Every structure is written in structure tokens, then in C-alpha cells.
Structure 1
Amino acid sequence: MLVVNRFRAPSDTAAAGALRDDLAAAHALLASKPGYVEGHVGRNLDEPDLWVLSTRWESVGAYRRALSAYDVKLAAVPTLSRAIDEPSAYELVEPNSVLNVAEPRVT
């Protein structure tokens, strides 16, 4: 699964630099968790105040377990909570793969 979190940097240069450092730290912490495959911190070419933290995971469960780890809650979630409010979890679409079907849960 792929997780894409976008962030809008403050116009203040020092605060924008702090966001870069915070994203790098959050990425490093997430990368230390089981199930992490790869990830990157990036900045938009056309809008330099738009940043992204993109990570790939073996499964949605691995990602959710990583987010629930105490050290991630303490050090990375405060940064992740500043992400632009939009869907961030994606399934990878590969040839002949069966895609997730969105349907309500039956209780």
C-alpha cells in the first residue's frame, strides 16, 4: 500500500526549514517499523511550499501498527497531523491485481 501525505509549509523561512526537518524525522521513524518498504520526502517543483511524505508498506495492517507505536505517536504523529486533510492511503494497482471493493460493513 502507498501512503501520500501532503503538507503546506509556512511562509516563514525558518518554519519551512523546520517542516523539512520534521518530515525527515517522521520518515526515519516510520522507516524503522516492520512492514515499511520505502519512502521519500519531496517538495513540489511548481509550488515550493507544498511538501510530501510518501511511504510504501507491505500491508495496511503494517502501516496502522506503525502509526500506533508509542514512539511514532510521540514523535511523528504531531507532524503527520499537520498534513492537508485529504485521503492518503492508496492501494497499488498492478497488472491483473484484484482491487479493493468499497462496500459497507455488515454488522
Structure 2
Amino acid sequence: MSLVVVTRYVVPEAEATTFRERAREALDALQAQRGCRRGHVGRSMDEPERWLLQTEWDSAGAYRRGLSSYDVKMRAVPVMYHALDEPSAYEVLVEGGPDGLADFDSDRSPSR
């Protein structure tokens, strides 16, 4: 089962150019990790001070291992300053693709 990580940020307009460069660096470091499938840096069309960094991983374990990388820690920390304090990792339960929809069981324990 794959994992989608969406981290949202609030970035003042005056810092947008610097943030974009740092977010690009963070994404580059994350993309280099084993198990990272793809990622995006985006900016809201309606509220330009709102940004996101989205990545997709093979598994929660791959994501955790990727975060522990020295390169990720060094290149992603400057971006985290603007991160909103909210949940960011989501397990994929339904996925759409060329062959239609596919359902997946949750990896969460039933007691949660």
C-alpha cells in the first residue's frame, strides 16, 4: 500500500522565491530516497501564500527511512519553518488508475 504525504505551508509573499528554491531542494532530496515514487511543490491559485509539498511513497516504512536520511534532514529543515502543524501522512485506501479503481486494506490496527 502506498503512502501520500502532504505538508502545507504558509509563506509570506516576500519569501515566496526563497521558499520555492528551498522546497525544490527538499523535494530533490526526498526524490533521491528509495521508495519515493514522485512529488510536487505547489502553490494555491486562490491564496498565493499557501504552498504544499506532496510526495508519494511505496510504504510508511520507506517514508520513515527517507526522512532519516542525512541529506533530507539537511535540505528539508529550512522548508519546515513555514509548515502548518497538522497531520501530513495518509495511507492510500482507494486508488484510481487506467484500469479503474483499486481498494486497499488499512495498515492501521483495528484498535485505533
How does the TM-score come out when normalised to structure 1? Answer: 0.86
RMSD between aligned alpha carbons? Answer: 1.5
Q: Give the C-alpha shift of residue 71 in structure 1.
A: 1.4
Corresponding residue for residue 16 of structure 1: 16
Q: Where in structure 1 are there 5+ consecutive unaligned residues?
A: none
Same amino acid, percent of matched pairs: 43
Corresponding residue for residue 9 of structure 2: 7
Corresponding residue for residue 79 of structure 2: 79
Corresponding residue for residue 106 of structure 2: 99
| 4+ residue segments displaced more than 3 Å | none
Aligned residues of 1:37 and 1:57 also touching (Cα < 8 A): yes
CA deviation map 1:30-81 (0-9, x unaligned): 0001000011000111101100000000001111111111111122133235
SS in 1 for 2:65: helix
Mapped to 1, the partners of 2:42 and 2:105 lie a distance apart of 30
Mapped to 2, the partners of 1:64 and 1:87 lie a distance apart of 15
Per mean C-alpha deviation after superposition, the further-off stretch among 68-77 and 36-45 is: 68-77
Corresponding residue for residue 43 of structure 1: 43
Q: Which has the higher strand share?
A: 2
Whichever residue aligns with residue 3 of structure 1, its letter is: V
Q: Where in structure 2 are there 5+ consecutive unaligned residues?
A: 95-101
Q: What is the count of residue pairs matched by the alignment?
A: 102
Mapped to 1, the partners of 2:58 and 2:31 lie a distance apart of 12
Whichever residue aligns with residue 16 of structure 2, its letter is: A
How does the TM-score come out when normalised to structure 2? Answer: 0.83
